[in-house]
A and B are shown apart, each in its own frame.
Chain A
Amino acid sequence: MKQQLHANRIQLTYATVLSWTSTLGIIFVITGYLVYVFQLLPSTVPPSEVALHWHLRAAELHKIVPVPSGWDWIYQLGRGDVLSYASVVYLSSVTMLCLAVIIPLFLKENDVIYAVMTLLQVLVLVFAAAGIVSGGH
């Protein structure tokens, strides 16, 4: 028997968006990191200084060095460490983007249950990203 693909249109769309966004994410993460460690752009906190404190709890480290966290980096994108952090933020947003794309497709197919379920899932992730349900400040 010849192999047939059994994925439906929605699943294929999700897979295509995921493939592009995650590949872009990996490239972004590695580029951002190299820019940071080779100091190609000025940094808020140089790697050597972060390394002096990475044995501390996250909360303690942030009291000593202002490394990017949450969304507090958004106006400093020209800095190496911020760029590297932004790439990690992008990677953490890929699933949200992919899920958001398939909501209209579920609606088009009159699959209200999964349209609502996916919308709720996106909202949970958006709230987490905004710091509303994830203890952001």
Chain B
Amino acid sequence: MNQRCCKTIGSIFLLTLLSGMLLFSPAVAFAVQSQPPVQTEWWVWEIALFVFSFFLGIIAVIAGVGGGVLFVPIVSSFFPFHIDFVRGAGLLVALSGALSAGSPLLKKGLANLKLALSMALIASISSIAGAMVGLAMPENIVQLSLGATILGISVIMLLSKNSAYPEIKEPDTLSKILHIYGIYYDEQLKKDVSWQIHRTPVGILLFVVIGFMAGMFGLGAGWANVPVFNLVLGAPLRVSVATSIFVLSVNDTAAAWVYLHKGAVLPLIAVPSVAGMMLGTKIGARLLTKVHTRVVRKLVITLLAAAGLRALLKGFGI
């Protein structure tokens, strides 16, 4: 009973946090949106961005989503930075998160190098193409397509049901040639779980599309990587989540270089975002058992949908 009470209080706290983020977001507080922030000192934006990213990091972990997918639509809605720089920062947020989480997952054997490398090679090329197209598109088209994508992601997150241990009766020929199979120790089952995959060519094609979209909008692509690994290829959920992080580190690196060359990475925007998000993620991981994750997840999906709608309206000039 006490635990349930604590969880409810925790959820209410996070609900308040979410509402606070929207109500007291810098754009509202300083009544500035896409105009130059003449009256506001630059360091105020720096602190606001750090604090905002910190809370976003907490919420992202609890909701089980990557920080990058929340970062771009929300920060581009509420901060005065051009969406070019927000996308550049979004890629670095997703990249730094993937880099810091990658090592333990690889050591435990949850992330699989061969599975990741097979998907990442072509996906990273499409990620570069996506970034180039995204930076060449007119701003309103970027906003429109970002809005539509974010709304689509909200629907995917709402409807997708993962399968913890998919059963693959017969692996496909390509996965046999590429030796894509593995075994990991499942802490929940307290035993080793071996796995294999099927539909490898379909998976590669889907990763091409995902890479393109991730590069185009500066989004981390965990929202799409995990369902493809898990539901299409048939990898266990834990392996899917861990390997998705590895793929993300390769694809986002490729796209980040396009943003660096096009001058769309400003350390003044990228670094407070990366630092805030990483710190928030660590706190969020500690809070994970203290809040109703399902409630928070639904709230985040609502927030994401609202940010998507806002981007769409911006795209239409409303």
Contacts and interface: CB of A to CB of B under 8 A. Distances in A.
Interface string A81-97: 10011011101111110
Nearest to A29: B271
Interface residues of A, number: 71
5 contacts: A1-B192, A11-B113, A47-B43, A85-B267, A120-B121
Indicate the member of A10, A125, A134 with the most B CB atoms within 10 Å: A134
Contacts of A102: 113
Nearest to B38: A52
Nearest to A7: B109
B42 interface: yes
B85 A54 contact: yes
A86 to B, nearest CB: 9
Interface of A: 1, 3-7, 10-12, 14-16, 18-19, 22-23, 25-26, 29-30, 32-33, 36-37, 47-48, 50-59, 61-62, 67, 69-70, 81, 84-85, 87-89, 91-96, 99, 102, 113-114, 117-118, 120-121, 124-125, 128-129, 131, 133-137
A58 B117 contact: no
B306 interface: no
Given A59-B262, A92-B253, A125 B269 contact: no
Interface residues of B, number: 77
B46 interface: yes
B258 A134 contact: yes
B141 to A, nearest CB: 13
A33 B267 contact: yes
A19 B103 contact: yes
Given A50-B266, A51-B268, A120-B121, A56 B82 contact: yes
Interface string B107-132: 11101111001101100110010011
Contact of B84 (A22, A57, A70, A84): A57
A82 B85 CA distance: 17
Contacts of B114: 114
B263 A58 contact: yes
